[in-house]
Amino acid sequence: MKILTTTLTLLSLFTFLIGANASPSLSLMTVRILPDGSVEPSNLPIQRSGDMYTFTDNVYAQIVVDRDNIVIDGAGYALQGTYNGTRTDSWVVGNGPYQQYNETAFPWTIGIDLANENRHNLTVRNLNIRNFYIGMYVWTSNNTVSGCSVSDNIVGILLSGDCNNIVGNYVARNEEGVFFGVNQPGDMPLNIGLTRNSFVENVVHFSGCFCEEYNTSEPIHTWDDGEQGNFWSNYNGTDADGNGIGDTPYIIDVQNRDRYPLMESIAVSLVSTPKMPVEIVVAAILLTIIILIAIIVYRKRSATLKN
């Protein structure tokens, strides 16, 4: 099944990204999952067990994956970047494929990125991905993103690979929720499963480049599994029979629609609570003990003076 009738060169998307604040206040480290399965650097709160990589705390970094057939389980924690929401209006998606882009002058960050075109079968789940230029760049095949929060990025999820599943995610407050991009005109991703996600308060929930005309001879592309679609916060349809499915499709554009939009959000936002540093916990306990001792001493002295 073809996906979007519009086409995009990734250069066009990157020129859009440079409108964001290019001078974050904090530098962002790059974490790599290497071909042998090791994590570099190794002193991060990511626990490895075989091909499973589980977060044990929030991580402030971008992750480059260079290994097949692995699972990254966020366990509800966050992968967080430095994008602070500040951008200019210098570029807009769809201004054309031949704009000049200078990565050195305008650096951008990707939350999770596959290292090269030979990396496949990555599963990312239960992870709060936020504050990146691109939350996830899924440009190879047979990958799954499920149960994640993808929020407060410029582009939440950039898809350009075939046979990928984006299921049950909370995609919120991004400038572009899910964006389809390709390297060559007509080279569009196929067989994408995009269901039971919640699209909430994104500037644009779902899009591609607007620099090509629609091919209206193609069939309408659908974003549901034949029974359930996705929740769209700006859907204004009704549910007369109360089955939780909108009575009319959610129209993305003239060639793309969700035939079974959900009336209520199934996916939920992940709230990441950072662990309290051990030093702070110890200091708090010691302070409590000192205060209790002071109270006891004060009471004893008061009792002695009265006598």
Query: Which tens digits make up the pLDDT trace of 119-149?
Result: 999 999 999 999 998 999 998 999 999 999 9
Query: Are residue 306 and residue 265 in the same domain, yes or no?
Result: no
Q: Could you tell me how many helices (H) and strands (E) the chain has, helices first?
A: 2, 24
Query: Are residue 219 and residue 306 in the same domain, yes or no?
Result: no
pTM: 0.77
Give a yes or no: residue 5 inside a domain: no
Query: Which residues make Cβ contacts (< 8 Å) with residue 40, sequence separation at least 6?
Result: 31, 32, 34
CA distance 93 to 209: 6
Give a yes or no: residue 2 inside a domain: no
Give a yes or no: residue 261 inside a domain: yes
Greatest Cα pair distance in the chain: 100
Give a yes or no: residue 197 inside a domain: yes
Query: Are residue 221 and residue 302 in the same domain, yes or no?
Result: no
Of 31, 36, 37, 35, give the one whose Cα is nearest residue 66.
35
Q: 39 with 53: CB under 8 angstroms?
A: yes
Q: What is the pLDDT of residues 71-82, one digit of tens each?
A: 999 999 999 998
Give a yes or no: residue 289 inside a domain: yes
Query: Are residue 307 and residue 203 in the same domain, yes or no?
Result: no
Instruction: Please report the DSSP string for 237-296 in residue order.
Output: ---TT-SSB-SS-EEEETTEEESS-BSS--S------PPPPHHHHHHHHHHHHHHHHHHH
More confident residue, 306 or 35: 35
Q: What is the pLDDT of residues 269-279, one digit of tens each?
A: 887 554 444 44
CA distance 138 to 181: 10
Give a yes or no: residue 77 inside a domain: yes
Tell me, what's the pLDDT at 36?
95
Q: 72 with 48: CB under 8 angstroms?
A: no
Query: Are residue 56 and residue 103 in the same domain, yes or no?
Result: yes
Query: Are residue 66 and residue 85 in the same domain, yes or no?
Result: yes
Give a yes or no: residue 19 inside a domain: yes
pLDDT band at 254; cut points 50, 70, 90 = confident
Give a yes or no: residue 3 inside a domain: no
Query: Are residue 58 and residue 88 in the same domain, yes or no?
Result: yes
Query: Are residue 283 and residue 148 in the same domain, yes or no?
Result: no
Query: Are residue 42 and residue 121 in the same domain, yes or no?
Result: yes
Q: 168 with 267: CB under 8 angstroms?
A: yes
DSSP label of 152: S
Query: Are residue 53 and residue 158 in the same domain, yes or no?
Result: yes
Q: Which domain holds residue 302?
A: 276-307
Query: Are residue 90 and residue 134 in the same domain, yes or no?
Result: yes
What is the total count of domains within the chain? 2
Query: Are residue 24 and residue 163 in the same domain, yes or no?
Result: yes
Mean pLDDT of the 5-13 span? 42
